[in-house]
Structures are given as structure tokens and as C-alpha cells.
Chain A
Amino acid sequence: SQTIHQWPATLVQPVGSPLSLECTVEGTSNPNLYWYRQAAGRGLQLLFYSVGIGQISSEVPQNLSASRPQDRQFILSSKKLLLSDSGFYLCAWLLTVEAFFGQGTRLTVV
């Protein structure tokens, strides 16, 4: 069966530090992968999506970047975190039209 893994579950990082969140999918090939962010009290905002290795589309200009080095690996990064980067980050995999989410990473930038 297909599963999606995301880590770490929680992260506290100082302003200006780098960030790397990793997401991997099992049980499927060539998945469509997505990074969403949910700020406190707000909806899910699509940050990036990828339809294949090395193919990244950005939805909103921001302090973050994404990479897809392998078919089932999707990485969210930042060189220097801002306070406004705090939030709940979710990796998702789209099977036809249904999205399956990882357990999320709760990032607090201090």
C-alpha cells in the first residue's frame, strides 16, 4: 500500500538558521507531490508542487525552496528562516484527485 512519510514532527529553529524538511512516498512511482503550509488559524496554502524528478512549480514567492532529487523524495528548504515561516508544513501526494498527507512538521521560528 502507499504511504507518505514526513519528518521531523516538530522543529524549533532560530531566525536566520537553515531549514530542511524531507518527505518520502512508498508504494507508488512518479507521484505528484505537494508542500502546503498552514499558519495558525488559517487555511492550507500551496507552496510547491512537483510532477517529476527535478520539476518544481512554485505557487507563491517566498523565503522557501523545494527540490525533488529522487522520484519519491520531496524536500522543502530555506537558507535563512524568518519569523513568518512558522507554521504547520504538510507534504501531500495526489492519487488521481485524492490527496494523502504526511503527518506534518510543526515549525516554530524563534
Chain B
Amino acid sequence: RKEVEQDPGPFNVPEGATVAFNCTYSNSASQSFFWYRQDCRKEPKLLMSVYSSGNEDGRFTAQLNRASQYISLLIRDSKLSDSATYLCVVNRSGGGNKLTFGTGTQLKVEL
């Protein structure tokens, strides 16, 4: 089983739609969780951290469910510029600070 699993997509949605991505992780001792955004042929960049209480940044909402080992990202009012691959990232506990990346979910926002 992969340490971090995501649906690869692609998710094709019209502009203005709401879209949700899910991610599951296998290591129950994982401590920190993030969503990164990666544009085509570019390096990943941090989109937002994910907290147990849930957090929101403008149109983006991230949630963590530790009991189910599940992370989500909700994007409201999708823009064309949201088209990218969204990577679920988990920071393992023990053995140093190491980020484990999911394979990413591709989003395409269309007119």
C-alpha cells in the first residue's frame, strides 16, 4: 500500500464549479499535512497546511480526519488559473523530517 494515495484524475470542471480532492495516508503516526500545487513542468509550491480543526484560505478549504487518516481539499468558484496538479503531502514522524508526496490529482478548469 502506498504511503499517500490520491485519485490521479483528471478532474475536468467548468469555471465557477466547486471541486473536492481526497487523500489517504497509511502511517497513523504522521504529524503534519499539506497540499502543494504543481504547474506543468514546474516545481511544487506550498498551497496550504492542513490542520485537524480545518483551515480556509480564500476559496480553498483543507480538512484533516486523523481517525480515518484522510485529508481533503475543497476549491470553490474554480478559476482557469486553478488548473494544475494538487499534491497531498505528509510529514512522517521518526527518522528525520521527510515529506512524502502523493502522486497528485490533476485539475483542469474549463470555460
Interface of A with B (CB < 8 Å)?
32, 34, 36, 42-44, 46, 49, 51, 57, 59, 88, 90, 92, 94, 97-99, 101-104, 106
B81 at interface, CB cutoff 8 A = no
Count residues of chain B with CB under 8 A from any CB of chain A.
23
Known contacts A46-B98, A49-B98, A51-B96; is-contact A101 B91 (Cβ 8 Å): no
> Does B43 lie within 8 Å of A49, measured CB to CB?
no
A44 and B97 within 8 A (CB): no
Interfacial chain A residues near B104, Cβ < 8 Å: 43
Return A8 CB to nearest CB of chain B, in Å: 15
Q: Report whether A46 and B96 are in contact in the complex, using a CB–CB cutoff of 8 Å.
A: no
> Which B residues are within 8 Å of any A CB, using their own CB?
4, 32, 34, 36, 41-46, 49, 87, 89, 91, 96-104
Q: Could you say which of B42, B99, B102, B103 contacts A99, with CB atoms under 8 Å apart?
A: B99
**Contacting residues, chain B, for A106 (C-beta < 8 A):** 41
CB of B96 within 8 A of CB of A57, answer yes
